[in-house]
Structure 1
Amino acid sequence: MQDKNLLEDFSCFYGLLFHSFAFMCDLWLLSSQYALFDIVGKLFLSQRTVRCGTWLKKRDKQLSKKVFDFVHKHFWMKAFLTLCSFSCDGSVWFTIPFVPVLCHLYKSPQESATFSRWKATLFSVDFALFCFVVLCCCTLSAVLELSLKVVVRRKRPSFNNKSSFVIPAEKWSFPSGHTMRAFTICSYVSFRIPWLRSWFPILRSELASILFVCCLCTWACLVAISRIGRGRHFALDCYAASVCGRVTSLVLLTPIVDRFLSSSFFIFVSKLRTR
């Protein structure tokens, strides 16, 4: 019964949050373009907006505390969510995609023919380009995350006192960097399924592609839940991070940015190989 109530709280919270976010965006756009709406907003909507924001923040903290308490009652769930959180850690996603890129950037004269064939088989130029763009996804999401944290400066949840931070900006909670990175990678990779089919033939099946995208989305959602369950972020931090992650991936998928990254990668590789 408690699990059902928790699930209902999740669905109601995110449904209301979506409509509130859309309403606030529309109101801000109108008030910034038309002086009449600006006056009406100040006279009529200001107190209502403040009350709505206060209520939303209160519900956000209550829901996050419920999830935190529920997770810490079950050791297996805490361990599983810790693993999910680590799967999107910056140390993982700034290291693993760098290996194929490094293989093409570094070419030693003493390199054996066997190693060259192995490298060409496992790490093709196209795959290195794909990993390079994934690194750009992680970098852009990290820059956006740290910038928002410095600007918003929302404190971390008070019910978790075991947090430690390497970068000073990480002591702030809004938005969740892990969640933003997860949704950025999930969105970008989902749109790049045609690229992946050349390296993973199993994805040439439509059913396999759909299942793969569903697994990616599930993984991204689990990362978001893990950040709430471990007491590192509030629910609103993860929701905002998921939206920012989607926007970041869409920016990198635009033709202009895509061509710029591709040309930059090939120019850089060609210059290194001519030395």
Structure 2
Amino acid sequence: MAPLSEVLHFILELDVRLTTSFVSLLMQWSSFQSLRINCKFLEVSCDGIVWLSSWIAFIWLFNSEPLFEMQLNMLVGLLLDIVVIALFKALVRRRRPVSDKDVLTIGPDKYSFPSGHASRSFLVLVFFSKLYALPFIVRVPMTAWAVTIAISRLILRRHYILDVLVGAVFGICEAYVIKFVWISQDAAACIIKYISEDNVPGGVE
């Protein structure tokens, strides 16, 4: 057990040093200095609560049957991502690089490993690139967004490099889990119609 602990300690210390050096290197470039100004916006653009609430609103407001398959499977992916990341953060309990005094953090979200923003951005990227492929012209900026999200987590000192890399891998794996349990168009339509306002208690008759 001791050798394993020493190896883990070495990896984590190396991760800290590499992250510090990498961010310092990035900050020497004016493009990344300007990116820092937009990091807060990027943080919100991939926030779990923002995505989940916005997606539910999207399903509710755009009550279009051709979209149900995509909407429901993406919703399952977002829920899966939140659960997986929360469980691993609670299990590993790695502290963030700096205390987030400017951000309200509750429960597992106060921990660093793995990055939920990285997992979510790559889940979305793979979902709309491989599972429900959007046109190439849309996938290009989406890829840039996912990569920029990952870099912004380092610039904001929310995560270490290992947190972001593992988070991205988690997001990719989650997308392929969704592919394995994919909900068909007919099933998605039945589920969404069942939980719509016409079928839940208190709904419109």
Using structure 1 for the length normalisation, give the TM-score.
Answer: 0.61
Go from structure 1 to structure 2 and tell me whether the alpha carbon gap of 1:163 and 1:240 turns closer, same or farther (over 3 Å shift).
Answer: farther
| 1:80 aligned onto 2:52 | no
2: distance between equivalents of 1:218 and 1:261? 33
| 1:143 aligned onto 2:83 | yes
Equivalent residue pairs, number = 197
Q: Say whether the 8 Å CA contact 1:177–1:241 is kept in structure 2.
A: yes
Matches within 5 A, 1:261-272: 262=188, 263-269=190-196, 271-272=199-200
Deviation at 1:253, TM superposition (A): 1.3
The one-character-per-residue Cα deviations of 1:121-171 (angstroms, maximum 9, x if unpaired) are: xx522224423332222111011111001111111114x554533322111
1: distance between equivalents of 2:150 and 2:8? 22
Query: Structure 2: which 5+ runs fail to align?
Result: none
Matches within 5 A, 1:150-229: 150-158=90-98, 162=101, 164-193=103-132, 196=134, 203=135, 209=136, 211-229=137-155
| 1:258 aligned onto 2:183 | yes
Matches within 5 A, 1:1-275: 47=3, 52-70=7-25, 75-103=33-61, 123-158=63-98, 162=101, 164-193=103-132, 196=134, 203=135, 209=136, 211-254=137-180, 256-259=181-184, 262=188, 263-269=190-196, 271-272=199-200, 275=205
Go from structure 1 to structure 2 and tell me whether the alpha carbon gap of 1:78 and 1:102 turns closer, same or farther (over 3 Å shift).
Answer: same
Deviation at 1:242, TM superposition (A): 0.8
2: distance between equivalents of 1:64 and 1:261? 45
Which structure: larger Rg?
1
Question: How much identity, in percent, do the aligned residues show?
Answer: 22
Q: Say whether the 8 Å CA contact 1:100–1:128 is kept in structure 2.
A: no
Query: Structure 1: which 5+ runs fail to align?
Result: 1-41, 105-122, 197-202, 204-208
Deviation at 1:266, TM superposition (A): 3.9
Q: Say whether the 8 Å CA contact 1:68–1:230 is kept in structure 2.
A: no
Q: Say whether the 8 Å CA contact 1:163–1:232 is kept in structure 2.
A: no
* Bigger Cα displacement from structure 2, 52-61 vs 142-151: 52-61
- Secondary structure at 1:94 match in 2: helix
- Structural RMSD (CA): 2.9
2: distance between equivalents of 1:125 and 1:140? 23
Q: Say whether the 8 Å CA contact 2:69–2:183 is kept in structure 1.
A: no
